[in-house]
Structure 1
C-alpha cells in the first residue's frame, strides 16, 4: 500500500512539475527581463526629465539675473545719470537738489515699469547714499546720508571704478533688517567719463521663488529649489516638513538662509563643481528621491548655488512597479491554471497506469478474479490504452487456462475415482473366486 501511494504521488508530482517548468519558467524569465528592462528604461527617462527640468530652470535663472545686471548697467549709462550723477553727489553744487530729484524720478519710473526691484539707491564717490527710491509697500532700512562704502555691493564696483561696463551681482545674504537680499550694482560715469558714483538695485526674488515652485511634469512629490554654497535654503520647500512635521519653524520662509541641508546629491555636486544625477538618495525628509543637481555660478561673489530637481522614487517608478505587481499576479494565476490543467492531464495519464499496476500485483499474488474497474479502461489507440487492453486480455487468457486446467483436473479425478471403484470390484470378485475354488 505504501509503494502504491509513492508511485501514484511520484508520477503525478513529476508530470505536474514538468508542466510547471515548461509553462512557468519561460514566462517568469520573460516577465523578469521585461520588467527590469522597463524599469531601467523608465528610470532613465525620469532622470532625464529631471535633468531637463533642472537645465531649463537653471538657464532661466541665469538669464533672469543677467537681465537684472543688464537693467542696472542700462540705468547707469542713461542720459539722466551721466548728466546728473556727479551733481547729485556734490552737496555743494547749486543744482544738487534738482539732480537728486531727476535721479530719483528715473529710479521710481524703472521700479514701477519693471516690477522686479524693491529698492534702488545711488551713492556718490564717497559711498554716501544721495538718492533713493523704494517700491510701494517696501520698508527700507537705508536712508539718505548712510555710508555704504564698506558694503560689498558698493566696495566691489568702487574697486573697478575705471571700468565703465562693470556690473556686480552679490550673493544672497541677510540684510541689516534681517531680510534676505541680493543686489546688483553698477559703476556710473559722467559725460566726461569720470567716475561719479555707484547705483545699486535691491532685487525682488519673488519671480525666482515662483519659478522654483512650478512643478509641472514632476508629479505630486516633485519639487525644485535652490541651495547656496553654505548648504542653506535660498528658496522655500513645497512641503510642510519644517513647519508641521518637525515644528522647527512657524513659517516655511523662516528656513531661508537659516536651515542647512546636506543631502548626498547636493554635497557631491558642490564637491565636484559639476552637475550630478542620483537615481536614489535620501532627501531632507529622509525619503528616497531621484534627483538632478545643477552647479550654478551666477553671482560675482564666486559662491555657487545648487539647483535641485527631485521626485520621490516611489512615484517616479510607480508605473513599472505597478506593472511588476500586475505581472506577478498574472504569473500566479497562470501557475494555478497550469497546475490545475497539469493535474487533470497527469491524472488522466497516471490513473490507468496505477490501475494496471494494481491489477499486476493481484495477478502476481495469484488473484485472477475479474477486475471490477474493467469498465473504466482507457479507450483509444495510444500506448497506455493498448497496454491496458493487452494486459487485460493476458489476464483473461491466464484465467481461462487455469479454469480449463481446473476442469481437466476434476475430470481426471473423477476418472481415477471410477477406476479405483472398478479395481475394488475386481479385487472383490477375485477373492470370491479364490475362496470358491478352495
Structure 2
C-alpha cells in the first residue's frame, strides 16, 4: 500500500471516529430529553383540563343543590338568576313539579316550548334528578351559543332538605360554550395540538367538542372501539389514564396523554402531531449529519494535504530523475521544502540548468504574435462574411415567399368552394407557416442589420424612450388589461433607436409570456452601479427554469413550444446583440409559474 494512502486512512480514522461517537451520544441524550418533555407536557395539559372540567361541574352541582334546598326556590332563582347565568354559563333555569309540569321558566325564549313539552323531551334527565344531582348527555341546541347544551337536574323537597316530600325538580340548562372554552385553549400546543373529550356509547366513542381539525365533530364524529384509529380517546373513554404514541382519529401519528373523568363518564385527551412535537429532533438530526459530513470532508482534505506534503515531493523527485535521465533537461524538480528532499531536488535543478540554458527567442515570440494576429483577422472576416450571407439569404428568400403566399391566396379564393374541410385546414396551415417564415426572415434581416449599423450614441432620456415604446404597445393591447409599473430609471449614453428596440423586444416578450395570466403586472426600472447602469423588465408570467437561462439569448432558442407561445426565437438574440455592441451585458432570472426578470447594463 502506498505511503500516501496509509497516511490518509490513519488520519481519517483518528479524526472521524470521536466526532461520530460524540454526535451520536449527544443526539441520543437530546432525543430522550425531548421525548420526556413532550410526554410530560401532554400529561400536564390533560390533568389540568380534566381538573378544570371537574371543578366547573362540582361548582355547578353545589349551586344547583343550594337553589334546590331553598324553600322559596322561585324567589331565590329570580334574585340569583343573572349571577348564576354569568358565572355558570346557563341558558335558562326550569322548575318542574313532581308530575312533570313545567311551573317555572326564567328565559322567555324557552317558556312556551318548555311549558308544553319540556317533560317529554327530557323525561330521562328529570326522573334521574329526583334521586340527586344528575348531569345529562350533551344534546344539540340551536338556541345556545355553541349549538350544544346539557342539563343539570336536582330534586326539590318541601322541607328544603333530603328526606322531605319531593315537590319538584330543578334543571339548569348549561351552554356547552363554557365547557369548550375550558378545554379548547391551545396555548403552548403549537399548530397541530388540541384537547378533546369523548364518551362511550355502546361500541363507539362519540366526540363531544369541536376539534381543531374538525369543527363539526360534536356528536357527529365517532370511532368504533377496538379500531386502530383514535386509540388515545378509546382508552380515555374506557376509563383508562395513560400516555404514548398512537394514531389519532385522522390516522396521523401523535403523542398524547389521556385521563378519565368518572363523574361525567368523559375521556379527556391532549395531543399534538408527532411531526411537530419532534421537529426539533429532526432538525438536530439533520444538523448532526451535516456536521459529520463537514468534518469528514475537512478531515479528508487535511488528510490528503498532509499525505501529499509528505509523499508528493518524494514522488516528484523520483519522476524528475527518470525524466531527466531520459534526456529532457528542461524539466525542473525543485521544491520549496527546507528538508533533505528539498535540497536534493534543488541540486537536480542546478545540474540541469548548467547543462542547458533555455532562453526565449525574440524572433520566435514575434512569429507567434504575428500568427495570432492573422487568426484574429481571419475570424473577423469570417464573422463579416457570415453576417453578409445571413442578410443575403434572408433578403433573397422574400421573393419566393411572397410568390408562395400569393399563389396560396389565389387558390383559396378561386378554389375554396371545391375544397373539403381537410383541404381548407391544410391551406390555413400553409398560410400560418408563410406568415411565421416572413417574421423569421424579418428578424434575421434585423439581426444582420444590427451587425453593420454604426452606433449613434448620445445621452438619452431613458424615461422618455420607455414612454414612447409603451404608448406604441398599449395601442395594440385592445381590451387586455395590463398594469405597467415604471420605477426610477437613470439616463445613459446610447443609441436611442437601438435602445428603444431593446425595450420593445423585452416588453413584447413580457406581454407574450403573461398572456395566460388574469392580473398582469410588468415592472420596468433601473439602478446606477459603479461604472454602469443596470435596467430591468420584470413580469409575473409563466417564468422559466434557471437551468436553461444560458439558452435564452441564443438565436432560435425557445424554452416553450410554438403551440404555447408564438415567436421566432430571435427577439432576445437581438437584445443581446444591441447591448453587447454598447459594451454592456444581458442576463435573466426567473422561476417556473412565478415570472421572470430580464436585465441589461450600459456603461456610464
Tell me if both proteins adopt one fold, taking TM over 0.5 as the criterion. yes
Which SS does the other structure have where 2:72 is aligned? helix
Q: Residue in 2 aligned with 1:274?
A: 240
Report which of the two structures shows the higher radius of gyration computed on alpha carbons: 1
Give the paired residue count.
335
Which SS does the other structure have where 1:229 is aligned? strand
Q: Distance in 2 between matches of 1:266 and 1:277?
A: 11
| Structure 1: runs of 5 or more not aligned | 1-6, 82-100, 161-165, 243-251, 397-438
Cα distance, 1:70 vs structure 2: 1.0
Contact 1:127-1:149 at 8 Å conserved across structures: no
Which SS does the other structure have where 2:285 is aligned? helix
Which SS does the other structure have where 2:338 is aligned? coil
Change in CA separation of 1:140 and 1:375 when aligned onto 2, cut-off 3 Å: farther
Q: Residue in 2 aligned with 1:335?
A: 296
The question of 1:319 aligning with 2:280 is answered yes
Which SS does the other structure have where 1:322 is aligned? helix
Cα distance, 1:145 vs structure 2: 6.9
Match of 1:213 among 184, 187, 200: 184
Q: Distance in 1 between matches of 2:119 and 2:293?
A: 78
Q: Distance in 1 between matches of 2:118 and 2:236?
A: 40
Larger RCO (CA within 8 A; separation ≥ 6):
1
Match of 1:259 among 221, 236, 241: 221
Cα shift readout 1:44-82 (whole Å, capped 9, x = no counterpart): 10110111011111100011011111111010012313x
Cα shift readout 1:1-40 (whole Å, capped 9, x = no counterpart): xxxxxx6xx4433322322221122112211221121011
Match of 2:5 among 9, 13, 27: 13
Cα RMSD (Å): 3.6
Contact 2:243-2:256 at 8 Å conserved across structures: yes
The question of 1:298 aligning with 2:259 is answered no
Structure 1 segment 180-219 matched on structure 2, within 5 A: 180-191=148-159, 193-219=164-190
Change in CA separation of 1:11 and 1:268 when aligned onto 2, cut-off 3 Å: farther
Match of 2:252 among 287, 290, 308: 287
Q: Distance in 2 between matches of 1:211 and 1:150?
A: 26
Question: Normalized against structure 2, the TM-score is what?
Answer: 0.49
Structure 1 segment 281-430 matched on structure 2, within 5 A: 281-299=246-264, 304-355=265-316, 375-376=334-335, 379-380=338-339, 385=341
Q: Residue in 2 aligned with 1:47?
A: 39
Contact 1:359-1:371 at 8 Å conserved across structures: no
Which SS does the other structure have where 1:183 is aligned? strand
Change in CA separation of 1:108 and 1:145 when aligned onto 2, cut-off 3 Å: farther
Q: Distance in 1 between matches of 2:98 and 2:322?
A: 120
Q: Residue in 2 aligned with 1:91?
A: none
Q: Residue in 2 aligned with 1:224?
A: 195
Q: Distance in 1 between matches of 2:206 and 2:174?
A: 19
Q: Distance in 1 between matches of 2:197 and 2:79?
A: 33
Which SS does the other structure have where 1:79 is aligned? coil
Q: Distance in 2 between matches of 1:234 and 1:75?
A: 28
Q: Residue in 2 aligned with 1:59?
A: 51
Which SS does the other structure have where 1:201 is aligned? strand
| Structure 2: runs of 5 or more not aligned | 224-228, 352-604
Contact 1:292-1:308 at 8 Å conserved across structures: yes
Match of 1:167 among 133, 144, 160: 133
Which SS does the other structure have where 1:71 is aligned? helix
Q: Distance in 2 between matches of 1:67 and 1:115?
A: 8
Q: Residue in 2 aligned with 1:24?
A: 16
The question of 1:153 aligning with 2:145 is answered no
Contact 2:317-2:333 at 8 Å conserved across structures: no
Cα shift readout 1:75-121 (whole Å, capped 9, x = no counterpart): 0012313xxxxxxxxxxxxxxxxxxx647635745554535111221
Change in CA separation of 1:149 and 1:266 when aligned onto 2, cut-off 3 Å: closer
